[in-house]
Amino acid sequence: MGSKYVAALIVSMSLLLSLQPRWSMGEQEGISPKIGPLLKEALLDATTGSADEPSADDSAAGASLVKAIVVMDRDHLQPLPDTIVSELRQRVEGLGGHVGGHAFNNVEVWMPLSAVEELAPWSEVALIRQPLKPQSNYAMSEGVNIVGATTFHGHGLRGSGVKIGVVDGGFRGYASLLGTDLPASVTRKVFGSESDFISEDHGTAMAEVVYDVAPEAEMFLVNYTSPAVDFVNAVSWLESQDVDVINCSQAMAFQYRMIYGCLHPSSSTGPDRDRFVSTLRNINSVVQQWQSVANHAVAQGIAWAQAAGNSGDKVWRGPFRDTDNNGLLEFSCYDPANEYNRIHIPPVSQSELNALCETYVVVKWGSGDTYSTNDDYDLYVVDDNDSVVASSTIEQGPSFPHGMEICKFGPRVGEKYFVVVERYSGSSVQEITLELYDDCYQYLDCNTPEKTVLSAPPADNPNVITVGAVSWSSPSTIERMSSRGPNAHGIVKPDLVAPTNVTTSNPSFHCGATSCAAPHVAGACALLKEAHPSWSPGQIKSSLESNAVDLGPAGKDNTYGSGRVSLAGIALPGVTTPTVSTKAASSVTETSATLNGTVNPNGESTTYYFEYGTTASYGASTSEMTAGSGNNAVSVSADVSGLTEDTTYHFRLVAMNDNGTTYGKDVTFGGAAGAGGGGGGGGGCFIGTVAESL
């Protein structure tokens, strides 16, 4: 340990009491290593009387039951034999509990806490743990117009005959929205209790966005409480209902609270190696199960819209670099020798920080699924005075050969916090991964967005439609937190981006990040499925990607994918409407420009105009002009003036005939885009009449 932080650790006794000591492997508490870290802590609390959980004497007297997941020692990608489930049920019921659902090798049980250890000796049991926690990748939505859904609506294509499933953590308040912001009726499936189904607002907002884009689709809402069991069964239920599209704004997140319990048990015995390894491997197994479930759904003909995740600004990844040989990692983002990576805290009240922003900081290195290594690194969080706020200084070596440190702290309003990583021993060059975990919008000042899609499986799955986020008010700029690719096999992710930060019926719920981007694409999938009932998920995905508004570098890239989803360029069968292409603006000055495009009337009397404004919602338009009734493309233009200096403007060409209206793709000019504009031009697609406001 470098002398700088040795000194910091000695400064005050109060600080020493708040820090984790440098642990080597110590004696464990005699609790079976098959018991997961959080259940183990609950058992210890019950033994010492520091918790309200039932003691061993309570189990026969109707004690309260705890929910747990029993992981059987069987293939994690195969269903359990009925005989195993039956024997487990007999054993659990004999201990005063009962068995719930099961999926793959995971079984839900409810039983007295004091009876958990009695189940562990059975040789068929690999692990007993608390349920894993999913990650929600956080509504008329302003994105409806941006994704071009109005073009389909106007021609009567609103999702009729298509079934959409929304799988989420909860749907609070959904019943009061039926017939207004949701369909008049929905089909639901409850996993757990009714209170579980209405436990949170997140799923309701996702369903609202889907409804805005595809208002006549049949909607199926299903919640889950256990990622290892309920989620698998929820998707299976959606398959049984013959849904065509699934929206998943959830992810199988790294279980940092469980890992913290393994590495820093409250009994102060040092890291619990056996529990750490079994927990890591079980988390990896559940991730593979989610991937398998998504693959199976797509193979059954279901288009799967998946949020990309919100780790784009929460991860730093790179080799350990220490040019000044002081033992501290140089993050090298702004200053090449920068050894302090600032954690940015959201500008909220202290009560909100206390409720939402308990912060976990994780450093990983090593090889394989258990991060095998003997190299020893230490983790510190320091404040603006260079005082240590939190630390993790486990001694890696023969007794604990796993490259991971984790610490936690509660941020305070007005304080600044920085991450410092120190090499304690070891000579090999390691790739270091630093990650933030919290329930609010904190981020690392120095971050590496590449490969962050790996933090939100199944967003890295090549078969799903992975959706990144752009704000509806700035739809050509990636949101900072939006996770990027590639995946572990070099496949470009995301596939598309879509609008976020949109409005829902709940003013207290912020519908942002990639969560609210994904349901725009789910709704777009439904509209395409109505227009082309025989299309497979692959054909739907291909059509959306080939007609997206290309952003960033030309072609598909790991920030924007194929671009912002746009239905405007997708032709529908049997309809002759104008063919439209928005071209780059010309004669651009500080306050004026000429808007350009081409229109082919396709033999019908056609008129046109340009929409323009400072966002892709436009707000202003030029006068309507005639394009004739020929069968060839004609160049059209309109002059606009009175523009604001140093401002980016969006515009598109709109053309109409008796068969419908065609909207060209969005193009920008001015401001950062310059005179050449930005965003591709290209063809548009018809609508019949102006769609109603939703």
Task: Report the run of H or E that residue 142 belongs to, with start and end.
Answer: none
Token look-up 């109505």 returns 530
Report whether the peptide linkage leading into residue 494 is cis, meaning its omega lies within 30 degrees of zero: yes
pLDDT of residue 59: 33
pLDDT of residue 63: 52
pLDDT tens, residue by residue, 204-231: 999 999 999 999 999 999 999 999 999 9
How is residue 460 annotated by DSSP? T
pLDDT of residue 3: 41
Token look-up 């005075």 returns 385
Task: Return the percentage of the chain with pLDDT > 70, whole number.
Answer: 88
pLDDT of residue 29: 56
Report whether the peptide linkage leading into residue 458 is cis, meaning its omega lies within 30 degrees of zero: yes
- pLDDT band, residue 53 (cuts 50/70/90): very low
Task: Report the run of H or E that residue 628 belongs to, with start and end.
Answer: strand 625-628
| Rounded mean pLDDT, 11-16 | 34
pLDDT of residue 1: 42
- pLDDT band, residue 23 (cuts 50/70/90): very low
**Mean pLDDT comparison of 9-13, 48-52, 265-269, 402-406, highest-scoring range:** 402-406
φ, ψ of residue 386 in degrees (nearest 5): 70, 20
Give the Å distances, CA to CA, from 485 to 244, 315, 457, 556. 27, 13, 12, 11
φ, ψ of residue 519 in degrees (nearest 5): -65, -20
- Given a cut of 60, whether residue 20 has pLDDT beyond it is no
Q: If we measure between CA atoms, which residue out of 275, 246, 245 comes closest to residue 258?
A: 275
pLDDT tens, residue by residue, 96-117: 999 999 999 999 999 999 899 9
- Given a cut of 80, whether residue 691 has pLDDT beyond it is no
Any residues with CB less than 8 A from the CB of 639 and at least 6 apart, and which?
A: 587, 592, 593, 594, 595
Q: If we measure between CA atoms, which residue out of 392, 397, 394, 402 comes closest to residue 426?
A: 397
pLDDT of residue 44: 80
Q: Which of 188-202, 346-360, 486-500 has the lowest mean pLDDT?
A: 346-360
- Given a cut of 60, whether residue 52 has pLDDT beyond it is no
Amino acid identity of 661? T
pLDDT tens, residue by residue, 544-557: 999 999 999 889 99
Task: Return the percentage of the chain with pLDDT > 90, whole number.
Answer: 70
**Separation between Cα atoms, residue 328 and residue 55, nearest integer Å:** 47
Longest dimension (CA), the chain: 89
What are the structural domains, with CATH classification, of the chain?
Answer: 3-21+314-448 (2.60.120.380), 37-129 (3.30.70.80), 160-249+291-310+454-546 (3.40.50.200), 579-687 (2.60.40.10)
- Given a cut of 70, whether residue 318 has pLDDT beyond it is yes
Return the exposure string of 645-675: e unless at least 16 CB atoms fall within 10 Å of the residue's CB, then b: eeebbbbbbbbbbebbbbbbbbbbbbeebee
Q: If we measure between CA atoms, which residue out of 21, 28, 33 comes closest to residue 395?
A: 21
- pLDDT band, residue 658 (cuts 50/70/90): confident
pLDDT of residue 693: 15
Q: In terms of C-beta density within 10 A (0-12 exposed, 13-18 middle, 19 or more buried), how is residue 486 classed?
A: middle
Residue predicted with more confidence, 222 or 42: 222
**Separation between Cα atoms, residue 521 and residue 303, nearest integer Å:** 10
Beta strand pairing call for 218-223 and 163-168: parallel
Instruction: Identify whether the C-beta of residue 387 lies closer than 8 Å to the C-beta of residue 260.
Output: no
How is residue 593 annotated by DSSP? E
pLDDT tens, residue by residue, 337-356: 789 999 999 888 898 888 87
Q: If we measure between CA atoms, which residue out of 613, 631, 625 comes closest to residue 669?
A: 613
222: its two tokens = 């299903």
| Rounded mean pLDDT, 563-574 | 83
Find the angle CA(86)-CA(88)-CA(89) to the nearest 5 degrees. 65
**Separation between Cα atoms, residue 191 and residue 225, nearest integer Å:** 7
pTM for the whole structure: 0.79
Instruction: Give the chain's radius of gyration (CA, Å).
Output: 28
Q: In sequence order, which ranges of 95-135 are alpha helices (DSSP H)? A: 116-119
Cα 418 from chain centroid (whole Å): 25
306: its two tokens = 């998946």
Residue predicted with more confidence, 385 or 334: 385
**Separation between Cα atoms, residue 616 and residue 678, nearest integer Å:** 12
Q: What average pLDDT does the structure give for the chain?
A: 87
Q: What share of the chain is helix, strand, coil (3-state, %, to 5)?
A: 25, 30, 50
- What number of other Cβ atoms are within 10 A of residue 372's Cβ? 11
End-to-end, the C-alpha distance of the chain in Å comes to 60
Give the Å distances, CA to CA, from 671 to 290, 560, 562, 614, 632. 44, 21, 24, 10, 34
- Given a cut of 50, whether residue 379 has pLDDT beyond it is yes
- Given a cut of 50, whether residue 25 has pLDDT beyond it is no
